[in-house]
Structure 1
Amino acid sequence: MNGPKTTKTDSPSGLNGAAITRLVQNNEVDAFLGLGDFQYDIAQCEDYVDYWARLWGGTMPKLYWVSAPSHDWRPGRNEDLDNFMNGECPGSEAKAAINQERGFIENGQPYSKEFGNWHFAFLSSAQWRYDKTKAMETTKWLDDDLAAAKAAGKHLAVVYHDPYFTSNTEEHERAAELKPWIDVMWKHRVRLTLSGSQHNYERSCPVNNEDECVDDGMTAFQVSTGGIGLRSFATLPSYIEKRFSDTHGFLRMTLREDGSFDWNFVPTSGSGTDSGTRSAP
């Protein structure tokens, strides 16, 4: 979201943070989902307080977050995101919405949250990089969590940082190690996934765990247009329906009780747009 030492309000990050803050302050959104990375480059307490909070701090009352590798969380280098989100960094006592509800949440700890008739699971893909044992434990947690929500009649969504359904860039390919999570999502017919990391915007067809467009698949959004420099695409997977890499902004969504949803990408620096509706199952 925020570049090294970035505090300028007219920067892409500043324009994005201000636009989303207005929605939060005017109570026009129920939640702001922070997909990471929050603060470049090696983010510690003072960086979140001195830089990120100046441009994005107004989103905290509605913020639900996941920690990403390696800018949000890399063991032994920068491990302060969970402290910051719980108001424990010197100079900032504000807590993210999920921390106000649940208390301290450790980097990498999965959690779930219901918004109306939708059930969201929040996962830290950094586990696959730093602790594969915990990543596999999270796979079991996800299976149980989604099964219970589905049995309760909820529509399912999953949030994680490193994208699986994505075009390559020169810097990143798909996070293939996440396949066990993707298999679980497909098993329970997750309808919506949100991820970031690539420094551009993409939307897939409803896709299954074998990269096939199917009616009951997952619509995968990859939204990493918060304020860092954007990256060009190097490949074009068949399941990608819309993408651009020249625009900063954010994705605004309306989720309905029947499982249908609308999406609208709101540009804040640039002209790329994407909007549409997926009908109820």
Structure 2
Amino acid sequence: MPNATLYRHYINGVAIAGEDDTSTSETVVNLQPGTAYTFTVGAFVGGAEYKSAPFSFTTAATSPTPTPTPTPSEGGWDIAAVGDMNTPGNTSMATHSGANATAILNGMNGGTIDHFLGLGDFQYDWGTCANLVNYWQKVWGGVLPKTYWAAGPGHDVDLTVGFNDIGKYMNGQCAGNTTKSATNTHLNRYVDALEWYSFDQGNWHVLHAPTAAWRYNATRAQAMTAEIDADLAAAKAQGKHLAVMYHDPYFTSTTSSHTRETKVKPWIDVFWKYKVRLLLSGSQHNYERSCPVDNTDQCVGDGMQQFQVSTGGREPLRSFLDSPSYIQRRFADTYGHLLMSLFPDGSYTWNFKPVGGVLQTDSGSRPAG
């Protein structure tokens, strides 16, 4: 206003304290979201105040800060596990093998699965370089970079007929495959199918016990017992929770082809000595879950819980011929894979995801202990 000697600024009719000056503009701070304000300016001329027309506005409302949705891997290690996968000559995704591979790969791509634990018998009947590249790779190859693997006798390795290619394949050394498994990338070395290895994932320590060694080199298998003992002792001393993956299960029902693998009992005694919490295996062509069990087949609170998951696609599935008291859940009519989340405190959850057959399921959790 011409001849004005002073300006006073008002918000909602209240003068802004200490802000009388000779400027017609004002920087306004500390406004609240979602609030209506009216701004006016008073001009003083000869002692009289003349107010401007009001200018009204409403500040934008703020959305509440969303609670972040944690990804499945936050706080835990999310895995899929299954063994006994691809039938001879199969390259079709429209099979139980293909359905399992597709679901696991989709989980990896979607961020719900961190790694795949392949529990042995990847390719039937023989896991030679040629068969792994020409068949298993065409169905399961997408999961290979995130695969930790166990080997079984007879199909992954068979020294009686002269093949032991699974270690070469997993290390990217077979013609037609240069991709390495997570095992080989993590350890940064070649791993023989008849040797043990171990690795850490967060607060979990995982050991692969090569049950095939008992069939083809029992002397070496026996010598491994002390090595496995030392490995688990060191991990336990570091406060790690212990898990073991091995192909031929000790805690299992009898089928027409297999009973429990009694040769591995020295290793089972070591597992119990250090209170291994989780055992994962394949072989039987069905699904079983045990109670937490000790090395004398008794259900105990701090025992080793066995998951035998051999429903990866090899047909047919096998029925059970007996009923061990330590088996809590089992079925032999459904193909699928096991999803698990292993948490830093030693607790874990499990969920069997069916892909074919009768579509039975199994899910649950075990608290820290």
User: Offset at 1:113?
Assistant: 1.0
Is 1:109 equivalent to 2:195 in the alignment?
yes
1:21: which partner in 2? 105
1:155-234 correspondence runs (5 A)? 155-229=241-315, 230-234=317-321
TM-align CA RMSD: 0.9
Partner residue of 1:276? Answer: 364
Are 1:147 and 2:237 an aligned pair?
Answer: no
Q: TM-score, normalised by structure 2?
A: 0.75
| d(CA) in 1 for partners of 2:220, 2:115 | 27
SS in 2 for 1:41: coil
CA contact (8 A) 1:200 1:223 kept: yes
User: Which letter does structure 2 place at the counterpart of 1:57?
Assistant: G
TM-score, normalising length from structure 1? Answer: 0.98
> Counterpart amino acid of 1:138?
M
Deviates more, 1:197-206 or 1:269-278: 269-278
Higher helix share: 1
Matched, 1:239 2:326: yes
Partner residue in 2 for 1:9: 93
Give, in whole Å, the separation in 1 of the partners of 2:336 and 2:363.
Answer: 13
Shift of 1:103: 2.0
Where 1:104 maps in the other structure, the secondary structure is: coil
Structure 2 match to 1:85: 170
- Are 1:60 and 1:96, in contact at CA under 8 Å, matched by a contact in 2? yes
Query: How many angstroms apart in 2 are the aligned matches of 1:190 and 1:49?
Result: 35
User: 1:32 pairs with 116, 135, 152, which one?
Assistant: 116
1:96 matched residue in structure 2: 181
**For 2:129, which of 45, 49, 57 is the aligned residue?**
45
Cα distance in structure 2, aligned partners of 1:247 and 1:73: 27
- Secondary structure of the residue aligned to 2:258 is coil
Partner of residue 123 from structure 1, selected from 209, 213, 229: 209
Alignment deviations for residues 69-104 of structure 1 (CA, whole Å, 9 cap, x no partner): 010001143211111111111111111011122221
Q: Give structure 1 regions of 4+ aligned residues with deviation exceeding 6 angstroms.
A: none
For residues 116-163 of structure 1, the C-alpha deviation after alignment (integer angstroms, 9 at most, x for no partner) is: 111110111000100011111211111001100000001111110000
Once the two structures are superposed, residues 18-41 of structure 1 have per-residue CA deviations (whole angstroms, 9 ceiling, x without a partner) of: 111112233322221011100000
Structure 1 unaligned blocks of 5 or more: none
Distance 2:311 2:110 in 1: 23
Does structure 1 retain, via aligned residues, the 8 Å contact 2:195–2:213? no
Match for residue 345 of structure 2 among 251, 258, 267: 258
Size of the aligned set, in residue pairs, is 281
Which shows bigger deviation, 203-212 or 6-15? 6-15
1:43 deviation in Å? 2.1
Three-state SS of the structure 2 residue aligned to 1:134 is helix
| In structure 2, distance between residues paired with 1:245 and 1:141 | 36
Equivalent-residue separation in structure 2 for 1:250 and 1:46 (angstroms): 26
1:25–1:58 contact (8 Å) kept in structure 2: no
